[in-house]
């Protein structure tokens, strides 16, 4: 089963960092968040990726073109211009890097991937959020429900900590990690290829007309994920995720360093 990752947006809400690089290349613990997302899927054996590119796509292409040499010991002969890789460890990933346009909306990007997806069920998520979703359980849920689409419903992270008061006196701060009520779309979809026929054009947002049509057809199910999920929408989000990684407390790191 192929994994589609939408990685072409402008990332305007993170403009402090996306002026020079695309949002999926913003680093968490010294690695692009895109690398983290791919590792989540690869841990469960889903290691063929279709990455929908747009804004500053050349930087994502360069990252993967240079990935193996950057992980290896090298000898460079400056006289001949030849490079010899002495020691390196490859990763069993196949990555399709597809230009889907700079200003294309999320639905349009998916529609442009029809020939890459083919007639098979596929996984899809966004290039700016991490979670400890159990991918095989998600897929089994989708298959059991026999619907066109399954999204992962998550609790949104609390944007503000709470004040605990005793009268007018502040007793302590409570830094909530997730809201206790309500569900939102957390990405991590399982989709049947027929859903791509519901996308009108490049300017179609996947989250609007196509998903609404699937709802009207009673063909959208929600896999309720009670675990960790966090987007990287703001600089505060990036710093929070970076701090979790540095403290070796990143819940989305379901893989081992030897995989």
pLDDT at 164 over 90: no
pLDDT at 143: 96
> Of 13-27, 44-58, 72-86, 90-104, where does mean pLDDT reach its minimum?
72-86
- H helices of 86-134, in order, are 106-111, 114-117
pLDDT digits (tens, 9 = 90+) for 206-256: 999 999 999 999 999 999 999 999 999 999 999 999 999 999 999 999 998
pLDDT at 117: 96
Query: For residue 259, what pLDDT band results from cuts at 50, 70 and 90?
Result: low
pLDDT digits (tens, 9 = 90+) for 56-71: 999 999 999 988 877 7
Task: Report all structural domains of the chain as residue ranges with CATH numbers, in order of start.
Answer: 3-246 (3.90.550.10)
pLDDT at 46 over 80: yes
Mean pLDDT value of segment 15-44: 95
- CA 251, 252, 254, 257 dihedral sign is negative
Q: Are 138 and 152 in contact (CB under 8 A)?
A: yes
pLDDT at 88: 64
- How long is the chain? 259
Mean pLDDT value of segment 50-58: 97
pLDDT at 110: 98
Cβ neighbourhood burial of 132 (10 Å; 0-12, 13-18, 19+) = middle
pLDDT digits (tens, 9 = 90+) for 108-163: 999 999 999 999 999 999 999 999 999 999 999 999 999 999 999 998 877 656 65
């Amino acid at each position: 089963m192929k994994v589609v990752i939408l990685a072409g947006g402008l990332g305007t809400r993170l403009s402090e960092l996306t002026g020079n690089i695309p949002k999926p290349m913003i680093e968490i613990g010294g690695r692009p968040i895109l690398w983290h997302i791919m590792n989540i899927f690869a841990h469960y054996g889903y290691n063929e990726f279709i990455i929908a590119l747009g804004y500053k796509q050349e930087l994502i292409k360069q990252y993967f073109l240079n990935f193996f040499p950057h992980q290896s010991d090298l000898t460079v002969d400056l006289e001949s211009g030849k490079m010899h890789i002495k020691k390196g460890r490859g990763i069993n990933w196949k990555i399709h890097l597809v230009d889907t346009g700079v200003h294309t909306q999320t639905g349009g990007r998916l529609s442009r991937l029809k020939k890459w997806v083919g007639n098979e069920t596929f996984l899809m998520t966004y290039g700016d959020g991490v979670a400890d979703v159990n991918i095989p359980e998600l897929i089994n849920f989708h298959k059991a429900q026999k619907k066109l689409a399954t999204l992962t419903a998550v609790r949104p992270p609390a944007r503000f900590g709470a004040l605990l008061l005793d009268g007018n006196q502040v007793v302590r701060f409570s830094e909530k990690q997730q809201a206790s009520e309500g569900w939102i779309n957390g990405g991590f979809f399982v989709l049947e290829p027929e859903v791509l026929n519901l996308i009108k054009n490049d300017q179609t947002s996947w989250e609007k007309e196509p998903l609404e049509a699937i709802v009207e057809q009673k063909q959208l199910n929600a896999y309720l994920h009670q675990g960790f999920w966090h987007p990287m929408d703001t600089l505060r989000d990036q710093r929070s995720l970076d701090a979790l990684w540095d403290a070796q407390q990143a819940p989305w790191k379901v893989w081992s360093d030897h995989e």
